[in-house]
Chains A and B, each alone.
Chain A
Amino acid sequence: MVSYTRRDALRSLPALAVGLSGCSALSGDEDDLPLPTAWVADLRETTVGVRPTEGRVVFASRSPFSNDPMLSAVDADTGETTWSVSGPDERCSPAATDGRRVYVFSKTGTVFAFEHEGGAPVWEASIPAVNRADPGVVQFAPVVAGGTVVVPVSGTEDDVPDRLVGFARSDGAERFSVDLPASLAGAPASDGDGVVFALLDGTLRRVGADGTDAWRLDVGAAMSDVAVEDGTVYVGSATESVLAVDAATGERRWRADLENTVFTRPLVANGRVFVGAADYYLYAFDADSGERRWRTETPNAVTSGPTTADGKLVTLSGGDLRVRGSSGTVPFGPTVFSVHDTDGTRITERRFEGYQSGGQLGWAAAVGGGVYLGQEWQVARLAPEVLDAA
């Protein structure tokens, strides 16, 4: 049972009190961030936010404590929490949205749907044999495919049956459960009416929104998070390559060489596929042919991004990443935030050195028009000038 709290304008009262103390009005600590911020908010152990509507970003929290809201909807301009939902004493997945609702999966084995407007609960559903699993079981967000919300249940310790479970978006009725022969290698993606996902057994697979098995492709090694755009699947692989695959048939369209594996989701934009790899390079490929257009060096393995804001590419290299499988590694340092133009020109590079009062850096991402940083104990929206050349 979740406790539903709605915050309103009265919230400005405690904010004002904090403001008097000389800190950020939102209590976060920006003093030692090497980047200018628009606001900093006390949101703990967040995952990359989603933006169901203009003006609001919803963050889920991996914190296992119910004192830390499971979901927080934040005003993108001010950083103020407009609503939050406290969940059970357990970790939860990143959030997913279909623009109307927000979906999240708790390690208690409960799937939740909330209205994005106000955070009212819509439905709950249960998945058995999850609560004793390792925290990795909620590593990946649910995926919206047609009228179905597909929940990826896949840990890293062989302590939970790996499966995809589909629920009706309308009422949470279970539609299917598909057992998987291996753990997920990365985050799945929707192709509109199905889900494409990569497994640690080296296969790339698709199931339809009804759970039927569509196709599988033997890639031969673990893969990255999956991206799907215009009927094509893009995925990086520990075979030191990036692949483009027909989403309808599973046939390979092209393969391009890298020098190491990929952890993050490729970004498809304006006829290009941008890939941040573990070989310390950010790549751009032609989306149709796979021809490499450019590559530029990064200081560490790319662990967040690329994502895009204002036509720029945002990445984080280094940082805290749960690597799945046996390929690639992320050294402890350096941790570096970067912005590149789409021609590969580096615009911004900021290193995070020493102790950060907001805790270890977990992710950096463009969400909507804003660029956000997630640390252990806070989220910051960066000032717009980080996207501008110095």
Chain B
Amino acid sequence: MRRDRAGGEKRHRVSRRRALGGIAALGSLALAGCSSLPRLGGVDPEWRREFADASAASPLAVSAAHVLVGAQDKALYGLRRDDGETAFRYETGGPIEARPAASGDDGPYHAHSTDGDVYAVDAAGDLRWREEGLHERGTVASNGSLLAHLDRHIDEVRGFDADSGERRFARDVAGYRLSGLLESTFVFREAAGGDRTRLVAVATEDGSVRWRTEASEWYPGLTADERLVVSDGESTVRAYDPQGGAARWESTVDAESYRDPTLGPQVYLQNQRSESADELVALDRRDGSVAWRNTAGYDLRRVTPTDDAVFVGSRVDDPDGGILGRVDRFDLTGRRQWRTETAAPDAEDLLAVGDSVALSGGRQVVVLDRATGETRWSHEPESYSRLHVSAADGRLYVSYVDDGAVARFPVSRS
């Protein structure tokens, strides 16, 4: 029995979060028995790679052939997806902290190193091209033939031919995400003088401007897919044709503020309300009319649509103190099909993978049954490392950011 400094007995309380985690772990362990491998709440990893000389790893990307991850040992690693063995290792001039990018199934692969440079290597790990830069903070994203590099120090986005490295354009950008990169069009926010911003769409082949919106004093939320670009702000939601910028529709939605919307079978807005729980608002893609609205936890964090449902990650209060991550599943009419309060202390990422839903709470991953919301297993590494998760082909890939390790786990029953 622990005693506090005053000498009195200290009551040992089990928090709701611990209880939830314990139930999941107990159930899993009972099913799976013991293993010498690091285990994800009782589920054995198919493989785990620890980088011997690296104390940290970047978020990862998954191509058809490789798991791509940068590390503190300055290297970009390409690991074989099936067994985690090193297919290539390419050393840069500094640790790689940003998620790499893959252009095509077998490369080229790209990474921004904290030495300021952008590197492109092929599937054998040979350097294809390199663009020198000065700044530690940067990110890359690719789609089709374009590699976009965002220099976060000077707020400039540069476009390169992903294969050759030929520079196609350089433009000022307002924001730090490259979420509007499409096959032939790249939509992003640009500064328009003073505190004004607007959306601009450029051709990925040469950076020429395809269309622009009017500048405004509000910072627009933005999401895009090959058929629709949606921006929101100040209760107004606008949809544009990605190629020509023609207005598809405009909708007024009673809402306080937004994060970036999400596109799926519908358009999903996160209505951040100060006096009550946040609200998910679903709009019809065709005309912007409100299809339904519903709440989850008090703070919506992630929206993950699938063809027949939308999953929402949110925060709720742990009655014993702290925060829990919650997952809700809604059908396309807005009917809540299930809700699960997980053991995770947050809802940082939410992935639909196989017959499961994986919620990352930053330092803990919880995997739920996609159909029922039942917790299958959860995992909080002993090292308390931050985790980044990616999904591909029904498997979960986990980067242990503070451990310099990567693992692959099965999530499906089959």
Contacts and interface: CB of A to CB of B under 8 A. Distances in A.
A327 B93 contact: no
A240 B132 CA distance: 10
Given A259-B115, A278-B94, A327-B116, A332 B136 contact: no
Contact of A327 (B74, B95, B135): B135
Interface bracket on A: 20 to 34
B56 interface: yes
A290 interface: no
A42 B137 CA distance: 38
Contacts of A260: 93-94, 114-116
Given A259-B115, A260-B115, A279-B74, A329 B134 contact: no
18 contacts: A222-B134, A258-B93, A260-B94, A260-B114, A278-B93, A278-B94, A278-B115, A279-B115, A280-B74, A326-B153, A327-B136, A328-B114, A329-B97, A329-B114, A331-B72, A331-B95, A332-B56, A332-B402
A276 B95 CA distance: 16
A329 B94 contact: yes
Contact of A328 (B53, B55, B94): B94
A299 B135 contact: no
Contacts of A238: 116, 134
Contact of B135 (A279, A301, A326, A331): A326
A332 B92 CA distance: 18
Main DSSP-derived SS at the B contact region: loop
A296 to B, nearest CB: 15
Interface in B118-136: 132, 134-136
Contacts of A279: 74, 93-94, 115
A334 interface: yes
Nearest to A330: B95
A28 interface: no
Nearest to B95: A331
Contacts of A327: 116, 134-136
B55 to A, nearest CB: 4
B59 to A, nearest CB: 15
Interface string A278-304: 111000000000000000000111000
A333 B53 CA distance: 10
A260 B95 CA distance: 10
A239 interface: yes
A327 B92 CA distance: 15
A203 to B, nearest CB: 15
Interface in B144-189: 153
Interface in B40-65: 53, 55-56
A221 B93 contact: no
B115 A240 contact: yes
Interface residues of B, number: 21
Interface of A: 221-222, 238-240, 258-261, 278-280, 299-301, 326-329, 331-334
Contacts of A261: 115
Given A240-B115, A327-B136, 14 more contacts: A240-B93, A260-B114, A261-B115, A278-B115, A279-B74, A279-B115, A299-B53, A301-B94, A327-B116, A329-B94, A329-B114, A331-B55, A332-B402, A333-B56
A389 B116 CA distance: 37
Contacts of A300: 72
Interface string B61-103: 0000000000011100000000000000000111101000000
Interface in B233-274: none
B56 A221 contact: no
A300 B53 CA distance: 10
Nearest to A222: B134
A332 B136 CA distance: 15
Nearest to A301: B94
Contacts of B95: 329, 331
A222 B95 CA distance: 19
Contacts of A333: 55-56, 72
Contacts of B115: 240, 259-261, 278-279, 328
Contacts of A332: 55-56, 402
A331 B116 contact: no
A160 to B, nearest CB: 22
Contacts of B74: 279-280
A334 B114 contact: no
Nearest to B97: A329
Which 10 A-B pairs give the minimum distances between C-beta atoms?
Answer: A259-B93, A333-B55, A260-B93, A326-B153, A260-B115, A329-B114, A279-B93, A331-B72, A326-B135, A260-B94
Contacts of B55: 331-334
A329 B132 contact: no
Contacts of A258: 93
Which interface residue of B92, B115, B137, B402 has the most chain A CB atoms within 10 A?
Answer: B115
A300 B73 CA distance: 8
